[in-house]
Every structure is written in structure tokens, then in C-alpha cells.
Amino acid sequence: MREIYLYLLIIILISMTTIIIAEKPDAAKNIANALAETKVISKTSKYGVDYYEFNRKGKKYIVVAAVGHLFNLKQKGKGWEYPIFDVEWIPSYKARKLSMFSEKYFKTLEDLKNLGSEFIIACDYDNEGSLIGYNILRFIFNKENAKRMKFSTLAKPDLIKSYEEMSNKLDTENIEAGIARHFLDFYYGVNTSRALTLAIKKEANRFAMLSAGRVQGPTLTMLADKEAEIQRFKPKPYWQIELKLLINGKEVIALYEKEKVFDKKEADSVYKDSKGKDPVVKDVTKKEYVQAPPVPFNITSLQTEAYRLFGYSPKQTANIAQDLYTKAYISYPRTSSEKLPPSINNKEILMAISKIDKYKKICEKIIKGKVVPNEGKGNDPAHEAIHPTVEPPKRTLTGPGGKLYDLICRRYLSIFGEPGKRESMKITLLLGKNVFSVTGRRTIEKGWMEYYGPYAKYDEVIFPDLKAGDKLKMKKLEVLSKETSPPPRFSQASIIKEMDKRGLGTRATRAGILDTLYQRDYIVDKSIRVTELGMKIADTLKKYVPDLVDEKLTKKFDKDIENIITKKAKKEPILSKARTAVTKISDEFKKNESKIGKALSGAIENTQNEKVTLGTCSDCGGELKILFSPFSKKKFVGCTGYNKCKICGFSKKACKCKCTICGGIKGKCKCAWKEKIWNPSCQRGYPLPGFATFQKLGKICEKCKTPMIRVIRKGKRPFNMCLAIDCETKKDWGKPGEKKVVKKKAVKKK
């Protein structure tokens, strides 16, 4: 009888328990704290994952988190042929070695699956978040439907509102779009990577993991076209006549009316006619203009501005912004919107962030007037533009997170500001008959720029009031010899902006695509330079597999996915078209496999060699390279001059130099060491930090004269170092701080 009561009690408890699935651990904690009417009970699964229990209106709730995608696509069966389209969803920790950390979250969800009768998906409201929740629901909980919360911030008021207004069914269109995108990217990514890798393997008998995905290919081609334009550029010499004069005691530079003089004789003639004459003001032209407030950030403009101000890469900005979002400090960052609807209640946000001292006066000033934001054209049906929330950090944020939060707050405040007023003043000067000019600018009313603070561009060059006929004092006149410059390279920010303009990728994927191009050694440097390998990949694909780098085809598929969300298209016809396109691309690869392999093999070897070669050995002139030890399983720096004769350059066994003492071959002569002809190990072997990747900096340490490298470790700040362990720049490395001695209190025995 007791067993029956216990069974009935369990059934009743299950029937009253609702499981809420969040996308990330921080989000789960915020949701629990927001919705709970009683104390939140934090529990830890046997796998070490925290989840939360609370009661609301007499019902029990469990909030548990994923860590992004817990399921990924993988081909059915084995083999490395292509094309393959027979794929299935499997747990991420089984599909990818790098996703092993997700196993404990997967198993925690599995353990909880029998505890609930009702389910709520509370993942981010986009096609990725919707798919994450749906896959957990159907593959772990064996359910096809659930309730759906939609929110743009993890602040308490927004989460409560989202819960109270949640939908009784899933957002099917977002899910279908997410599935379609994953299948599309898998079809293209896996098949084209295999085709490239196999072409190299068969032709050059070497393994090199290459890739050229659906968006990656067109993006690389765009960069390669720019690189080719730069390489084709032939500079033309020109001359610039520069007048340095003093205005109010400050040096100002005025230029001859023809900024670029391509005839040297003309430049010399102007210089001769102008030298020794005092500049006289011919004309003063003033013009007032208005600078409208900026529009709110979307993810692209945030990435662009963070790169301009702080040098953060687009991926770094996206990661920092995501962290601020999961802490409930800002709204959902992966948005394309530039609008702030009235529903977000801007007055409440302004009152909340006014608690931060540096924003207090600005917020009070804005609240006194009309709180109407200046908005842009960009729209996003799922989320508004990026903005701070009603739950600002309780302590001052530091580091990259603090900088980005301040930038987002300042931008948000500035959109409520008045237009700024500026004035330009162009002064036209005469040196004899030759005309020179200089332009200055000044701010009349700061307006919104005052709110944007240190991030506003001023470029102030202020002149006194001058009038025609005023004489000024010349300081120096000179003719500068210059050359025309090639078109500028893309920066990490400008390429993201260009991808957005061309419709390549999505707001959530562009930073990752750019990062992949770096990882594959297709591009290098912040001012993006395409490597020899990157150029060869782009040229080869354009020549033999043009459909793979076709921007129009890529944009068409992205538009089709958007149409799924707006119910204008269905998933299956789109995937059918994708299979047809990938089959055609695969046929082109197979038809030209030998030509593709030949075209790429040399570039791969050169690029890989360039990547690991750090510089020249100061002892023997050999090359210092990053090598891998099969014994220690670690990377180190070794010299190609290891164990080579100083005279002939051959290794010990092949030395051709005759010994002056015994007449023998140096490889067999014992007295060779006495003659100091040999460099045993060249004294040039250097250990490298473990669990890191390395970038050469092209610089030499001033102290030890060894090459400088940049050390990059996951989750830690990169740092620069030279190779020599005993270099005086490292004299303070590894010195432990003073340890505090904690005296244990004596415990009295009872």
C-alpha cells in the first residue's frame, strides 16, 4: 500500500513540474531568479552541472541549461567519399572532439527528462536558439511541441513579461530555417572540404585540411580580388607643394590648389614663383552644417565601432557582447535592427543606468525632455537594436567587458541627443599668383556628441577670424616627392561591413567565417592580406569550380532561408536545390581533381613553411622554425643548421671538409670538435609554452636578438615574448608572490 502511495505521489509531482530549457548556464540562473516566487534552490547534477528549482503559483519548475548546440549533423556510415547527403543528428560530444565539454550538460538533461510533464523553450529567439531547444526537446525529452518564451534581454521585468505572454507552441518557422541552414552548411562545408583535401592528397601525397564553404568561398574570392588589385597596382610619382605657415602661433599646413602635380617641371615652377613671398588671404568661406545623432547599434555597427576604438576583432566583440547579454546587462546582441520600439520603455532604462555616476547627469537631462530615439532603417522581426537593460552591473566593469558596455551605454544615450552643429572654414591664400588653401573645423554645439563622450570624432582645427587681404607669416615652403597609393586593404571591421552590404552570411555567422579564413592560413594580419595559399585557392576555385564562389547563388540560398521565417518558402525544396548545386560542384571537382591538386600543392608547402619560419639563427645563419617533437608531443623552436659544418654547410655524415690536423673526413674525425668547425645543436633550441598557438611578429628582441612571437591560449590574454629562456626581459617571470601563512585555530577537545 505504501508503494502505491509513493508511486501516486511521484505521478502528482511530475504532473505539476515544468522544465524550462535555457541556452546557456547564466541565462538559466537569470530565468530562475526572475520567475521564482519562492526561494530558488540551486542543485548540481552528478555530472557537475548546476540547475535550479523554484515554485510559482503552486507549480514546481526546473530550469536547466544547454551550452549551445548539443546536437550536430554527421554522415551516416563511414568513408571519405563525396558528395554525401545522407546525414543524421547525433550528440555534439560524439560528433566533434572539441565539443566533449557538452557531454555533462547532455547527460544532465537526460537524467531530468522523466521529471517533467510540461516543457518551455527559453533559448535565444532566433533560428539557432530555436533549433537548440527543439533538438533537446525531440531527441532527449521525446516531445515534438512545447511552450515558447520570447525575450530580448535577460532582465527580470522582460523575463516575467516573456513568461506571461509566452506562446503555447514552438516557433516552427525559426526551427525550419535553422534546420535548413545547418543542412546547407553541412552539404557545402563537408563536401567541398573533402574535395579539396583529396585533390591535394592524390596529387602531392600529403594531407592538408582545406575548406571552402558556402559563404567562405565567395568571401575569400572577394578578398583575393582586392589583393590582386593591390598587386597589379603600379604607383605613379607625383609632387605636392606644401606651405607651412603660422596662424595664432600655431603651425598650419596649406596645400597648392593642385593637390597632386604629376609634372616635375610644373612643381618646380610653382615653388620658384612662390618662394620668398608672404601668403595673403584671398578668400574665407564659412559653412555651417548639422550632424544628426547616430542610430542604435546592431551587431555589425557594434563590431565596426569596437574595432575602430579598441582594436577588437569582430569575433572578440561578438563574444564579449554575448557575455554581457547573458549577465543581463545588455539586450540580445546578434540583431540587425536599428530600432527601439516604445515597448522597451526607454525612461525605465535611463533611470536604471543613471545609478552609474558617469551617466547620471546625461540621463537626468534626457528624461526632462522628449525621450524619442533617433532610429535607423535596419529592422529585425525578432529583436530590437542593442541597448543597456534596466539591470546595470552593480560593480564597475573592467577590461574588455567594461569598455564595450561603456560604448553601448554611450551610444544608447547619444541617440536621444540633439543634433550637433559644426562649422567649416576654408581659407584660400595667394603666394604671388599661386593659390593655396587650408580647411579648419570647429564645433559650435556639441549636442549628442557630448553624450557619446570620448568616442565622438571632433577633428578640431580652429582658425581666428580672417578677411581678404590679411597677411600671414610663412614658416616653410617645400616640394614633397610622393607616389600614388594602392587601394587600401580590408580591415576586420570593413570586411564584416562589406559582407553585410553584399548579403554574404548572417549577422551571427560573419565573424566566425572570417575567423575560419585566418585559421586555414588563407589570410593574415589585421589589415587583411591574402596569403599565397589563399590566392591559389580563390583562383583555382574561380577557374575550375565557379559555382562555389558565386555570390549570387550564396545570397539566393540565404534569401530562401529568410523566406522560410516569413512563410514564403519551405525547407525541403530549398535543400533539394542545394543537393543539386553541391552535386554539380562535386562533379567539377572530380573532373579537375588533378589540376586542382597541382595548382594548390606548392602553395600549401610555401604557406606552411612561411608560417613556422620565425627568422634567422644568429649563430649559424640557419632558419629558426617551429617544430613538433614526436617524443615529448610538444612544439619547440629548432635551427635548420643543427649539427652542420660551419665550412661546407653539410651535416656530420656528409661533411666534405678535410681535417687540417689528421687529414680525415670531418664526419669521422675526432679532432674536428677541437677545430670548432662543428655546431653541435647550434645552441639554438628553444622550448615553447604548451597548449598554445603562435604567430611570428617579424621583430627581433633588442636584448637577446632572437625572434619575437605572439602566444595565444584559449581563454587567456595573448602575450608577446622572445625565444631565449635566459633573456633579461624574462628575469621576473615565474617568481612566485609571497604566500600568506594562515594559522589554523586550535580546536579544543570536548
The secondary structure of 586-601, three-state, reads HHHHHHCHHHHHHHHH
Strands (E), 593-679: 613-616, 623-628, 635-639
CA 671 to chain centre: 58
Which three-class secondary structure state does DSSP give residue 651? strand
Query: How many residues does this entry show for the chain?
Result: 750
To the nearest 10 degrees (0 to 180), the angle between helices 571-591 and 172-204 is 10
Can you tell me which residue has the cell 661546407?
648
Can you tell me which residue has the cell 502505491?
4
Cis preceding linkage at 83, omega within 30: yes
Is 43:20 a contact under the CB 8 Å cutoff? no
Given the residues 332, 405, 412, 451, select the one marked as catalytic: 332
- The secondary structure of 716-742 as a DSSP string is S--EEEES-TT-GGGTTTT-PPPPP-P
CA distance 330 to 390: 9
Is 197:207 a contact under the CB 8 Å cutoff? yes
What is the number of other CB atoms lying within 10 angstroms of the CB of residue 563? 15
Phi, psi values for residue 245, rounded to 5°: -135, 165
CA 163 to chain centre: 33
Burial of 319 (0-12, 13-18, 19+ CB in 10 A): middle
Indicate the DSSP class of residue 615.
E
- Joined together, the cell numbers standing for residue 682 give 647550434
Is 635:628 a contact under the CB 8 Å cutoff? yes
CA distance 461 to 484: 26
The secondary structure of 357-426, three-state, reads HHHHHHHHHHHHCCCCCCCCCCCCCCCCCECECCCCCCCCCCHHHHHHHHHHHHHHHHCCCCCEEEEEEE
Is 641:652 a contact under the CB 8 Å cutoff? no
Residues with Cβ within 8 Å of residue 711, at least 6 apart in sequence: 688, 689, 692, 694, 718, 719, 720, 721
Indicate the DSSP class of residue 297.
B
Is 602:658 a contact under the CB 8 Å cutoff? no
Which three-class secondary structure state does DSSP give residue 433? coil
- The secondary structure of 184-228 as a DSSP string is HHHHHHHHHHHHHHHHHHHHHS--------TTHHHHHHHHHHHHH
CA distance 509 to 557: 15
Question: Is residue 686 annotated as a catalytic residue, yes or no?
Answer: no
- The secondary structure of 26-81 as a DSSP string is HHHHHHHHHH-SSPPEEEE-TTS-EEEEEEETTEEEEEEE--S-SEEEEESS----
Phi, psi values for residue 349, rounded to 5°: -65, -45
Q: Which residues are catalytic?
A: 332
